[in-house]
Structure 1
Amino acid sequence: MSQLPPESFEVPVIDISPYVLGGSPQEQARVAAEIDDACSRVGFIQIRGHGIPAEVAGGLAGAMDDFFALPMEAKNEYRVAGANRGYSPPKSESLSLSLGVESATRMNDFFEAFNIGIEARSFTDLDLSEADYGINVWPDVEKFRARIESYYTHAARVARTLTTIFDDALGLTPGFFDSITDHSIDVLRMNNYALPEGTVTLDGELKGMGEHTDFGLVTVLWADQVEGLQVLGSDQRWHDVWPEDDALLVNLGDLTAQLTNDRWMSTLHRVAPPVVNGTIKRRRSVAFFHDGNVDAVIETLPSFFDESGLAYEPVSVRDHIKAKLAGSRQGKSNTAAGREAERVRVAAQLEATS
């Protein structure tokens, strides 16, 4: 696998262990400054020192392999209509529609996925609706739930560590992100890029996962070291990204971009079919989405208004997530993502002329 030259697009690698292990104020300030720089320039980060044991990540990978190896008829038993839970088969989604970007072929993303997440009933002191969260379904696969829940617990800890760093990096009152995430919609999505390995001729419209931004505050991503993930740089061109050894990928979601008025970027990304020398390579990824409280209203913080007063319109987490999911999973084009959709169009024009 060839490496990008030093002057090309780069995803910064940051060791967050001073926040995980309780480093000195000076060490934490250095990490916060590095996070601010990375989020301002790229919107994607590689993190080390996250504290997730190798055996936990290995258990996650093994559980995924066991589930996705099931026959399609068995996997389809875990489809959950109208909820962001359970199984999604290949070509049942189109992530680009979450931005309102039309594809020549709808619902053409070839990944398959399995989702679990926090349930409303987990927050016993609050009157929340499962319609906003979802009830988990668990496959009849040996130790699947235990292995997935073990990783989920660690990923949730990492996401909350990151938002603590965000408070410091943005100069916010300590605990700001806690105040909008104490009953956050959190989802763990396991993706399997499901074309069989081997030599294949791909339809030009077939995508691993269409271009999109993530919906919420921050995403923590475990992934194989296999090409496929592409990130849109500030040059409006797509760049290949894969995790380094022992690193997790982290990217910001729409709601953090809206809080900061795009000072921190919700970076567009996509997954190309993982083809190396004309041969399909299997690729897996697991995204932990930390999306915020369902009833929180997200609006640009006053310190991030630009000189003209331009800012994002306030939106509830519930309404934002609903509109994005209606695009990706129900084929209803999202009309509220104008800034992101324009970036996709510019990148497509450059790609067509290069």
Structure 2
Amino acid sequence: MTFHVPAVDITAWVTDGTAEEKAAVAAAIDTACREVGFIQILGHGIPTSVTDGLASAMDDFFAQDLDTKKRSIAPKGTNRGYTPPKAESLSLSLGVESATRMNDFFEAFNVGLATSDFPGVELDPMEYAENVWPDVAGYKERIDAYFSEAGRVATTLTDIFAAALDLPDGFFDAYTDHSIDVLRMNNYALPPGTVDLDGDLIGMSEHTDFGIVTVLWADQVKGLQVLGSDGSWNDVSPADDALLVNLGDLTSRWTNERWMSTLHRVKPPIVDGTINRRRSAAYFHDGNADATIAAIPSTVEPGTEALYPPITVSAHIQAKLAGSRAGKINTSATREAARVLAANGG
């Protein structure tokens, strides 16, 4: 069977279409989430000027020398600011030692919602850290513009999810009104001599995303690979004017694996002995830190138990981050680890 990422046009939900139009979109999303877990989203409504601004801001920052970029490294323990190359190993977030035995070589810059965005709400300043902004002209303004639009798309998608799962309108609102949302901008390009181009080079090792849903803008450059149900790795690039959307672990838990968080990785193309540069920006919509995620009762067969115990968003994300950034294998991710090992023939 040929691997295929379905395309779904969500215009009806962006422009307040008819009930019938919205139902058709919800049905298409349900099918895509059941069968693939990745979706090409069209009709999202983000202006080209905004995505162009995002791309140019990323170019302006990542073009700087490494010492300059390192001035934007955030305080330890916060998910903000600059991440230098080979500082993370995402396979550890799933409780698996990466087969490459080398940290992932991508570099990144993170921004997210902070305590100052939720006045009057008591939040952990480490989980909702204030942003670190580089001294790059117009950077904050361009990133903020895209962040707002991507957040709107993520919220629209959770509204569609509620309809697709036959849940009440606004079901996800109580779990996301002070959501841990982070935009991670990735750059897959390194100066010559930084890495050995022989062997199995990994830009970002195999992993699932942590939260509810991820909205991804990316270049139409090969590198992103998605694990198919047959155990094969498949190249995926965004269609024209599309965003790639995939589910996170919390949605898999919520739906008792009716919908899956799909394993993916980045293996950069090498052209004429150099890495072909690839850019991406992933907006992670992860839910409120204090929200408890438990299987939706309708997804659990009578007489059976849910596949996962209840867990708070905070506890889940902290375990994942401890793996990818602190080098501590996530021992609670046994089901996810088994999927990685199976894909690697282990």
- Tell me the TM-score range normalised by the shorter chain: over 0.9
TM-score normalized by structure 1? 0.94
Report what 1:120 is aligned to: 115
Aligned length: 343
Report what 2:29 is aligned to: 35
2:93 aligned to 98, 107, 118, which one?
A: 98
2:215 is equivalent to residue 256 of structure 1: no
Which has the higher mean CA deviation after the structures are superposed, 103-112 or 84-93?
A: 103-112
Report what 1:77 is aligned to: 71
Listed one character per residue, the Cα deviations across residues 170-204 of structure 1 (whole Å, up to 9, x for unaligned) are 00111111110000000000000022489x96242
Report what 2:45 is aligned to: 51
Cα contact 2:88–2:325 (8 A) shared by 1: yes
Label 1:58 to 1:207 Cα distance change in 2 as closer, same or farther (>3 A): same
Cα contact 2:162–2:172 (8 A) shared by 1: yes
Partners of 2:107 and 2:40 lie apart in 1 by 25
- Of all paired residues, the percent bearing the same amino acid is 63
2:204 partner amino acid: M
**Deviation for aligned residue 1:277:** 6.5
Q: How does 1:158-169 map to 2 (within 5 A)?
A: 158-169=153-164
3-state secondary structure, aligned to 2:332? coil
2:266 partner amino acid: V
Partners of 1:99 and 1:14 lie apart in 2 by 29
Partners of 1:282 and 1:138 lie apart in 2 by 24
Cα contact 2:57–2:143 (8 A) shared by 1: yes
Listed one character per residue, the Cα deviations across residues 25-52 of structure 1 (whole Å, up to 9, x for unaligned) are 0000000000000000000000010000
**Deviation for aligned residue 1:69:** 0.5
Q: How does 1:1-354 map to 2 (within 5 A)?
A: 7-80=1-74, 81-104=76-99, 106=101, 108-196=103-191, 202-276=197-271, 279-307=274-302, 308-349=304-345
Which has the higher mean CA deviation after the structures are superposed, 131-140 or 286-295?
A: 131-140
Partners of 2:156 and 2:100 lie apart in 1 by 39
Partners of 2:52 and 2:270 lie apart in 1 by 24
Listed one character per residue, the Cα deviations across residues 129-155 of structure 1 (whole Å, up to 9, x for unaligned) are 212211100000000000000000000
1:99 partner amino acid: L
**Deviation for aligned residue 1:8:** 0.6
Listed one character per residue, the Cα deviations across residues 295-352 of structure 1 (whole Å, up to 9, x for unaligned) are 00001111111353243101000000100000001111101111111111111118xx
Cα contact 1:216–1:255 (8 A) shared by 2: yes
**Deviation for aligned residue 1:214:** 0.3
Partners of 1:119 and 1:187 lie apart in 2 by 10
Cα contact 1:93–1:107 (8 A) shared by 2: no
**Deviation for aligned residue 1:274:** 2.2
1:323 partner amino acid: A
Partners of 2:158 and 2:32 lie apart in 1 by 14
2:337 partner amino acid: A
Structure 2 runs not aligned, ≥5 long: none
Partners of 2:13 and 2:123 lie apart in 1 by 32
Partners of 2:146 and 2:265 lie apart in 1 by 24
1:40 partner amino acid: R
